Amino acid sequence: MNRSASIDTPDQGLGGEGIGKESLKGSLGFLLRVAQLRSFGHFFAVMSEENVRPGEVTVLDLVRENPGIRQGVVSKTLKIKRAQMSKMVREMEAEGLIARRVPREDRRSVELRLTPAGEARIARIATRFPEIEARTGKRLTAAEARELRRLLIKMTGLEDKEGE
């Protein structure tokens, strides 16, 4: 096990699980992290059942809603860096879920569209979105969930500008 720590006499090291005061622990940033992890946990669990990767699903969903969307716009919208998006799109193309097309009017860019297989997959998975949403907000009343959504939108400034 390769434990190099010293073995020593006790020392009132809190035996139980109790935690003392807080500082970062009570910060908004930490709470957001915990909330996001919990929410993602639900999402991930369902996507595992469906044998798909979470990231793929968000891309499929956005491309479905916006056929021909440029790859960079997907990237900005979903807050995924271009490098990562590039990899994902390559894999999804290889899986036959997505089609890339370089438009004549701007040959740097790439337009994305779903293949029929992609359409089928996202359609199947999308039926489970409400379930995930419900699980995420299950401890809140409807009014509270609405207020939480409003505060998050305000906090992030998402109302004003779409892309960063």
CB of 95 to DNA, least distance (A): 12
When the beta carbons of 64 and 70 are compared against DNA, the nearer one is 70
C-alpha distances out from residue 157 to 38, 62, 101, 153, 164, Å: 23, 20, 32, 6, 9
**For residues 106-125, which are near DNA according to CB under 7 A?**
106-110
One residue of 55, 115, 119, 145 binding its own copies per CB under 8 A: 145
One residue of 25, 38, 87, 124 binding DNA per CB under 7 A: 87
Q: Report helix, strand or coil for 65.
A: helix
Q: Residue 57's binding partner, choosing from its own copies, DNA, none, with beta-carbon cut-off 5 to 8 A by kind?
A: its own copies
CB of 106 to DNA, least distance (A): 4
What sign does the CA torsion over 41, 42, 44, 45 have?
positive
Determine, following the binding rule CB under 7 A, whether residue 64 of this chain makes contact with DNA.
no
Determine, following the binding rule CB under 7 A, whether residue 161 of this chain makes contact with DNA.
no
C-alpha distances out from residue 57 to 52, 118, 148, Å: 7, 10, 24
Specify whether the CB–CB gap between 136 and 99 falls below 8 A.
Answer: no
- Residue at 61: amino acid letter: D
Q: Residue 87's binding partner, choosing from DNA, its own copies, none, with beta-carbon cut-off 5 to 8 A by kind?
A: DNA
Determine, following the binding rule CB under 7 A, whether residue 84 of this chain makes contact with DNA.
yes
**For residues 5-44, which are near DNA according to CB under 7 A?**
37, 44
Distance CA 156, CA 147 (A): 14
Specify whether the CB–CB gap between 151 and 158 falls below 8 A.
Answer: no
Q: Residue 85's binding partner, choosing from its own copies, DNA, none, with beta-carbon cut-off 5 to 8 A by kind?
A: DNA
Q: Which two tokens stand for residue 80?
A: 């995924």
- Chain residues that interact with DNA, rule: CB under 7 A: 1-3, 37, 44, 53-55, 70-72, 75, 79-90, 100, 105-110
